[in-house]
């Protein structure tokens, strides 16, 4: 201590042989499909390999990066400021655009702005904590996330700014998000790069630091949305400078600085490229005729409209056939549609089609406000061309031409080609060999470099749930827990928690009549230390970008942030356990280091507890419910007798008690993590019941309590031993 980590010491990424084909299919499906998969899937091996390939395509090789040997924070800031000054007139001009054009620009930029910051989602993890630089970045991540108040997060504020400008978009992970954003391929490819970086942040720490500074210091999205910068440039630069200082003490320092500078310049290039594309898009759209604008609207809605128009014909052909045709030509359709009776002027104004899209009409709310305005203007233009005659003579109307939108395609083709051809030389394909618990722990901590361990991790987590099932029946006899199943209501859950707290954790407490000797106290701490060294591993992936739509997600993130000291190293719970061990003269390598596999201080018999936490935490979507239950159990476990006795024993021998005291306080049942863990569950189940019904909520509850039982299985040694003895006796009889 302190942990001065500046980059991962590992240099290869180990995937199973079958991952290559799946990742290839992942990327071959196109940038839009890749965007959806990257955001929705944070658990699979193929996703990690696809992310590695994307990063290899986008990140330049740091060798030969000019200025990398003498790089400093002020020099980088000057480069970024120069590009900001270069882009500022263009960004200012966007604010003066006509409303429809400004909306198009904001809509196009939204996928990048709304994933901004995702590179910090899992930078804080067992492999990186309690690193000084990771905690500095986590502090800023916590601020960007709203400091426990979701409405204040930068993502929510950007959404509100977009909505105030008339841009309403579904959730990032919604199937139609990119369609609603009318996203060009270049935009999607840029967004994919940032999300891919967020999938492997511990492995690309120099790049994360560089991207974080450059993206936020440029502030493209803040300027476009008229928002104040969420993080002042001076504070961003402080973290950048601190990281660069740390690299000067690192054996890999020159390479790390070169990698950082390469990432900064890549962001500058990407932002120049994207802002230029936004300008090109605005000019292209400004040049569209009303005919072309309407043809674009029709083309956008046609795939969803055909079956709803069974009795409507245009030029003698049913719309069900017209819109369903694979060769549907919006310009040709519009040429015929503008001379149909649906557009015939009424004596008092308007026409049948306009009546249909107004309030009370059969097509009301099909088109948004902007689209309706374009359609109204177009119909007025058609009527004017006829000079009062109907139908309008064909010669009085210009031909409908539908310009093809190729904005950004040249640049997009370059990135797409690079991604498809990407073959990172550091990727190794190998089946997972037979491994012992020490190797398993090492791979789980460094999972970004060992994705071929994921399948085994999932099997282990499922086995843990199965082990705990016995306590759903017999758990009432637990010494510190009661995992026996019960019917859920919010009150019933609170009553169970209160009963466990008072009857099993607090009321049994009496001061120790005798303090164990020093060796016993040290050994007991050693049995628990491994689990403490990976503190909160079960929760570190909850609530990431695209997975933070539920109130329970934000509550879980807030609990995890507390465990990490909200970015303050001295308050970080992993720092505190290191203090305890240091006070006992126990010196250990970091759990991420290969040397930890050879440590002789912590007993092998207790590796299983840390391994199961790590396995559970790698699947925040598949095992979301189980994580909520596990979280409640582990937050309660240290309250009352057990923790107070440990404080007595440690204090009597002069050992550090900060870790025990911190948990006794922060996990309290009144307002602390235990109470918050209950709130997470009740909030989540309330939402499930409202959205999916009581049966769905009951099923989710059973999984939540199974997660609680899986933790109880590790703590109730006497009960489990007794149950096994009884089972063996019955077999003998």
DSSP strand pairing (317-318 vs 427-429): unpaired
For 699, residues 6+ apart whose C-beta sits below 8 A from its C-beta are none
Phi and psi, residue 349, nearest 5° = 105, 160
Cα separation, 367 vs 354, whole angstroms: 11
- For 294, other C-beta atoms within 10 Å of its C-beta total 26
Name the H helices within 41-98. Answer: 45-58, 73-95
Burial degree of 429 (CB within 10 A; 0-12, 13-18, 19+): middle
Q: Could you tell me which residues are beta bridge partners of residue 444?
A: none
- For 729, other C-beta atoms within 10 Å of its C-beta total 9
| Tens of pLDDT, residues 597-611 | 999 999 998 999 999
pLDDT, position 732: 63
Calculate the CA dihedral of residues 554, 558, 559, 565 and round it to 10 degrees: 160
> Are 563 and 573 a contacting pair, CB within 8 Å?
yes
Q: Which of 400, 383, 401 is nearest to 392 (CA)?
A: 383
Cα separation, 655 vs 605, whole angstroms: 24
pLDDT, position 308: 66
Class of domain 89-287: mainly alpha
Cα separation, 708 vs 365, whole angstroms: 47
- For 29, other C-beta atoms within 10 Å of its C-beta total 12
CA distances from 573 to 35, 416, 637 (A): 35, 43, 16
Write down the residue that tokens 């899209």 correspond to: 357
The answer to whether the Cα torsion of 381, 386, 389, 395 is positive or negative is negative
- For 454, other C-beta atoms within 10 Å of its C-beta total 24
DSSP strand pairing (313-314 vs 317-318): antiparallel
Write down the residue that tokens 């996330």 correspond to: 145
CA distances from 320 to 300, 325, 384 (A): 16, 9, 30
- Where along the chain do its domains lie? 89-287, 290-396, 437-732
Region of residue 147 (left: phi > 0; alpha: psi -120 to 50; beta: else): left
Q: Which of 345, 335, 351 is nearest to 298 (CA)?
A: 335
pLDDT, position 322: 87
Calculate the CA dihedral of residues 62, 63, 68, 69 and round it to 10 degrees: 140
**Burial readout 192-218 (b: 16 or more C-beta within 10 A, e: otherwise):** bbbbbbbbbbbbbbbbbbbbbbbbbbb
> Are 77 and 217 a contacting pair, CB within 8 Å?
yes
What the block records as the tokens of 527 is 């049995």
Segment-wise mean pLDDT, segments of 10 residues, the chain, 733 residues: 93 97 95 97 97 96 71 96 97 94 97 98 98 98 92 94 95 95 97 98 98 98 95 98 97 95 98 98 94 90 74 83 87 90 90 93 88 93 89 86 91 97 97 97 98 98 97 97 98 97 94 96 94 96 93 95 96 96 96 97 93 98 98 92 94 96 89 95 98 98 98 95 85 62
Write down the residue that tokens 């990135």 correspond to: 415
Cα 461 versus chain centre, distance: 21
pLDDT, position 151: 85
Helix (H) or strand (E) holding 728: helix 717-732
Taking 3-state DSSP, the helix, strand and coil percentages for the chain, each rounded to the nearest 5, stand at: 65, 0, 30
pLDDT, position 399: 87
Cα separation, 6 vs 255, whole angstroms: 11
> Are 256 and 209 a contacting pair, CB within 8 Å?
no
pLDDT, position 714: 93
Phi and psi, residue 314, nearest 5° = -130, 120
Helix (H) or strand (E) holding 214: helix 205-218
Q: Which of 202, 225, 200 is nearest to 110 (CA)?
A: 225
Write down the residue that tokens 């790590």 correspond to: 614
In the chain, count H helices and then E strands.
Answer: 32, 4
Cα separation, 469 vs 663, whole angstroms: 28
Cα separation, 299 vs 316, whole angstroms: 20
Beta strands in 662-722 (DSSP E): none
CA distances from 635 to 28, 157, 180, 467, 667 (A): 44, 32, 42, 20, 6
What angle separates helix 694-715 from helix 624-637, to the nearest 10 degrees? Answer: 40
Burial degree of 482 (CB within 10 A; 0-12, 13-18, 19+): buried
What Rg value do the Cα atoms of the chain yield, rounded? 30
**Burial readout 136-155 (b: 16 or more C-beta within 10 A, e: otherwise):** bbbbbbbbbbbebebeebbb
For 395, residues 6+ apart whose C-beta sits below 8 A from its C-beta are none
What the block records as the tokens of 324 is 């369903």
């Amino acid at each position: 201590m302190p942990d001065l980590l500046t980059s991962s010491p590992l240099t290869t990424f180990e995937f199973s042989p079958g991952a290559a084909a799946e990742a290839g299919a992942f990327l071959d499906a196109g940038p839009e499909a890749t965007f959806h998969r990257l955001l929705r899937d944070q658990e699979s091996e193929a996703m990690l390999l696809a992310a590695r390939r994307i990063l290899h395509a986008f990140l330049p090789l740091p060798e030969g990066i000019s200025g990398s040997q003498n790089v400093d924070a002020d020099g980088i800031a000057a480069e970024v400021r120069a590009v900001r000054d270069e882009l500022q007139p263009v960004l200012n001009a966007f604010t003066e655009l006509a409303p429809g054009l400004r909306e198009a620009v904001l809509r196009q930029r939204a996928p990048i702005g709304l994933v901004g910051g995702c590179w910090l989602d899992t930078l804080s993890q067992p492999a990186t904590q309690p690193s000084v630089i990771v905690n500095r970045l986590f502090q800023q991540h916590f601020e960007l996330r709203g400091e426990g108040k979701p409405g204040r997060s930068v993502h929510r504020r950007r959404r509100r700014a977009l909505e105030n400008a008339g841009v309403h978009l579904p959730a990032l992970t919604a199937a139609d998000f990119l369609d609603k954003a009318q996203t060009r391929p270049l935009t999607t490819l840029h967004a994919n790069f940032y999300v891919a970086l967020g999938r492997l942040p511990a492995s690309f720490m120099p790049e994360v630091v560089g991207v974080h500074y450059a993206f936020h210091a440029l502030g493209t999205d803040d300027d476009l949305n008229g928002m104040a910068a969420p993080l002042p440039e001076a504070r961003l630069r402080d973290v950048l400078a601190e990281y660069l200082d740390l690299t000067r003490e690192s054996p890999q320092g020159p390479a790390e600085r070169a990698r950082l500078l390469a990432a900064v310049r890549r962001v500058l290039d990407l932002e120049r490229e994207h802002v230029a594309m936004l300008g090109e898009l605005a000019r292209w759209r400004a040049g569209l005729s009303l005919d072309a604008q309407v043809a674009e609207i029709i083309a956008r809605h046609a795939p969803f409209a055909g079956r709803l128009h069974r009795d409507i014909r245009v030029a003698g052909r049913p719309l069900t056939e017209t819109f369903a045709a694979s060769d549907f030509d919006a310009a040709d359709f519009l040429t015929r549609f503008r001379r149909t009776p649906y557009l015939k002027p009424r004596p008092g104004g308007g026409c049948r089609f306009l009546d249909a899209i107004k309030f009370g009409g059969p097509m009301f709310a099909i088109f948004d406000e902007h689209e309706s305005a374009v359609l109204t203007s177009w119909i007025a233009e058609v009527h004017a061309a006829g000079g009062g005659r109907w139908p309008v003579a064909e010669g009085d109307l210009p031909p409908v031409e539908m310009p093809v939108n190729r904005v950004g395609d040249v640049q997009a083709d370059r990135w797409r080609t690079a991604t498809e051809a990407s073959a990172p030389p550091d990727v190794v394909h190998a089946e997972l060999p037979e491994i012992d618990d020490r190797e398993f722990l090492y791979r789980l901590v460094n999972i970004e470099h060992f994705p071929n361990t994921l399948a085994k991790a999932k099997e282990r987590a499922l086995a843990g749930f199965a082990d705990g099932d016995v306590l759903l029946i017999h758990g009432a006899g637990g010494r510190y827990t009661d995992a026996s199943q019960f019917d859920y209501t919010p009150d019933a859950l609170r009553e169970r928690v209160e009963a466990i707290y008072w009857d099993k954790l607090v009321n049994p407490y009496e001061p120790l009549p005798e303090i164990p000797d020093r060796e016993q106290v040290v050994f007991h701490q050693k049995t628990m230390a491994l689990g403490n060294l990976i503190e909160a591993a079960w929760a570190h992936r909850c609530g990431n970008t695209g997975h933070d739509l539920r109130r329970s997600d934000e509550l879980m993130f807030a609990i995890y942030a507390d465990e990490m000291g909200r970015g303050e190293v001295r308050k970080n719970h992993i720092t505190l356990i290191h203090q305890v061990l240091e006070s006992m003269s126990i010196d250990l390598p970091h759990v991420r280091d290969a040397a930890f596999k050879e440590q002789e201080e912590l007993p092998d018999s207790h590796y299983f507890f840390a391994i199961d936490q790590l396995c559970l935490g790698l699947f925040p979507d598949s095992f979301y419910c189980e994580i909520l239950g596990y979280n409640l159990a582990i937050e309660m476990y240290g309250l009352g007798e057990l923790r107070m006795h440990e404080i007595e024993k440690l204090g009597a021998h002069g050992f550090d008690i900060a870790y025990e005291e911190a948990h006794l306080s922060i996990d309290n049942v009144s307002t602390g993590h235990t109470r918050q863990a209950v709130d997470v569950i009740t909030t989540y189940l309330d939402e499930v019941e409202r959205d999916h019904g009581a049966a769905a909520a009951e099923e989710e509850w059973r999984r939540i309590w199974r997660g609680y039982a899986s933790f109880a299985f590790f703590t109730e040694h006497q009960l489990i031993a007794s149950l096994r003895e009884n089972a063996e006796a019955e077999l003998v009889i």
